[in-house]
């Protein structure tokens, strides 16, 4: 298994608060990784650094051979657009666009719009009859399925998901996670997912735990 993402010695502080204090790990192509840790332990901060939404103070993040921390703003934006798919707890769909337009939005920006792939994703995610609706006309579970389609439509190598089922009831969240894991596996993408839930974390290939600014492999419990 070749390495997609390699992180070494990552540090990040907000003022006097040292959130990440030397975080290192690697993620092979196609693998899924659960990131757990207490509230405020820095999970979202770490995910944002990997997603090039924010820059670390020190350390290196290499994605597909590209050192993210050396890119300028434009380079980081291009990397986010082309190589990464993001799924957030709050869905973050664009309210003025239809389901269909939301799904293709990032792929169009990346100049990789593929209508057949969009149709496949919409079908698998149960969205084929909802393509002309607007986000406010959808349930939470439907909105998150649109967000998953959008994250996968441009065929990124890495999906970053921050508590993707955190706003859904358990049954809906389980169904959404089933689809996310199936589609990530089928498309060959790697997944890094933040979750509070040990039950959900256990469904991914690996689990790491963030505590006191450092990552440790999860040993059970
Ligand atoms: P988690 O996702 O594990 O709950 P976060 O990464 O959101 O944790 O936050 C880790 C710590 O960093 C918290 O103490 C939080 O208050 C602080 N923090 C996060 N983002 C910012 C920011 N933009 N400015 C200042 N402090 C922040
Ligand atoms: Mg968080």
Ligand nearest to the CA of 163: 2
Residue 12 lies in a domain: no
Low-confidence winner among 27-31, 72-76, 97-101 (lowest mean pLDDT):
72-76
Looking at the DSSP assignment, which residues form a beta bridge with residue 217? 208
- Tell me the CA–centroid distance for residue 138 and ligand 1, in Å: 30
CB atoms under 10 Å from CB of 26, counted, come to 14
Give the C-alpha separation, 25 to 87, whole Å.
Answer: 21
Task: Give 120's contacts (C-beta < 8 A, 6+ positions apart).
Answer: none
Ligand 1 contact, 157 CB (< 6 A):
no
Ligand 1 contact, 19 CB (< 6 A):
yes
Phi and psi dihedrals of 167, rounded to 5? Answer: -105, 10
- Tell me the CA–centroid distance for residue 159 and ligand 1, in Å: 21
Question: Where does the pLDDT of residue 217 fall: very low under 50, low under 70, confident under 90, or very high at 90 and above?
Answer: confident
Structural domain harbouring 46: 31-53+73-207
Give the C-alpha separation, 190 to 64, whole Å.
Answer: 12
pLDDT in tens, 68-93: 988 999 999 999 999 999 999 999 99
Question: To test the ligand 1 pocket, which listed residue (14, 37, 56, 208) has its Cβ within 8 A of the most ligand atoms?
Answer: 14
**Residue located nearest, by CA, to atom 7 of ligand 1:** 44
pTM reported for the whole predicted model? 0.96
Give the C-alpha separation, 50 to 58, whole Å.
Answer: 13
Residue 84 lies in a domain: yes
Percent of the chain scoring above 70 in pLDDT: 99
Helix axes 115-124, 99-109, angle to 10 degrees: 130
SS3 37: strand
Residue 61 lies in a domain: no
Residue 119 lies in a domain: yes
- Strands 206-211 vs 32-37: parallel, antiparallel or unpaired: parallel
Residue 215 lies in a domain: no
Residue 152 lies in a domain: yes
Residue 185 lies in a domain: yes
Question: Where does the pLDDT of residue 40 fall: very low under 50, low under 70, confident under 90, or very high at 90 and above?
Answer: very high
Domains of the chain: total: 1
CATH of the domain at 150: 3.40.50.300
Residue 20 lies in a domain: no
């Amino acid at each position: 298994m070749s390495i997609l993402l390699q992180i070494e010695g990552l540090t990040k502080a907000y003022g006097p608060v040292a959130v990440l204090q030397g975080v290192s790990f690697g993620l092979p192509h196609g693998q899924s990784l659960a990131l757990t840790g207490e509230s405020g332990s820095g999970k979202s901060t770490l995910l944002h650094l990997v997603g090039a939404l924010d820059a670390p103070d020190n350390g290196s993040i290499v994605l597909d051979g590209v050192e993210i921390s050396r890119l300028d703003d434009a380079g980081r934006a291009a990397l986010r657009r082309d190589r990464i798919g993001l799924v957030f707890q709050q869905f973050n769909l664009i309210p003025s666009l239809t389901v269909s337009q939301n799904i293709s939005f990032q792929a169009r920006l990346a100049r990789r719009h593929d209508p057949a792939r969009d149709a496949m994703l919409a079908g698998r995610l149960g969205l084929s009859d909802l393509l002309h609706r607007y986000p406010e006309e959808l349930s939470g579970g439907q909105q998150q399925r649109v967000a998953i389609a959008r994250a996968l439509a441009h065929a990124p190598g890495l999906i970053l998901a921050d508590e993707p089922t955190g706003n859904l009831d358990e049954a809906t969240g389980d169904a959404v996670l089933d689809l996310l894991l199936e589609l990530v596996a089928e498309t060959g993408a790697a997944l890094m997912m933040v979750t509070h839930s040990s039950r959900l974390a256990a469904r991914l290939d690996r689990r790491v735990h963030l505590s006191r600014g450092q990552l440790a492999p999860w040993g059970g419990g």
